């Protein structure tokens, strides 16, 4: 029988996947432990709706990440540190130094 997993199940599948299992396994293990539901039209429609929402959210996050990347690439940061005569630094530049100078 086809089911939709509501949680990850070892050797069966991951959350949101539609998989085939034996009816007894579904009735005796999957259903009592709330690990899945029967893959009927109603549940498949809910799954597709949920997957579309996740896709929209992922697209939004990707767009936001690209915008942030462009902002960071356009930003110049100057850090004043002590250096020797040959240009070698005394110490190192840390994440905190970059954070302070980018403000």
Structural tokens at position 48:
């597709």
Q: Bridge-partner residues for 3, per DSSP?
A: 19, 38
Q: Which CATH superfamily is domain 2-74 in?
A: Ribosomal protein L9, N-terminal domain (3.40.5.10)
**Residues 2-33, buried b or exposed e (16+ Cβ, 10 A)?**
ebbbbeebeebbeeeeebebeeeebeeebeee
User: Block means of pLDDT (10 residues each) for the chain, length 103 residues?
Assistant: 94 93 95 94 94 96 96 85 84 85 74
Structural tokens at position 30:
């999957």
Q: What is the pLDDT of residue 54?
A: 94
Q: What is the pLDDT of residue 48?
A: 94
Q: What is the pLDDT of residue 89?
A: 86
Q: What is the pLDDT of residue 30?
A: 94
Instruction: Show me where the domains of the chain are located.
Output: 2-74
Strand order, beta sheet including 2-5: 18-20, 2-5, 36-38
């Amino acid at each position: 029988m086809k089911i939709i997993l509501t949680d990850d199940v070892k050797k069966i599948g991951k959350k949101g996947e539609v998989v085939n299992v034996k009816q007894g396994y579904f009735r005796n293990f999957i259903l009592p432990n709330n690990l899945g539901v029967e893959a009927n039209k109603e549940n498949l429609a809910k799954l597709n709706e949920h997957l579309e929402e996740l896709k929209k959210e992922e697209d939004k996050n990707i767009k936001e990440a690209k915008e942030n990347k462009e902002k960071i690439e356009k930003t110049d940061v100057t850090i004043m540190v002590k250096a020797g005569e040959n240009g070698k630094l005394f110490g190192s530049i840390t994440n905190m130094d970059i954070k302070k100078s980018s403000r």
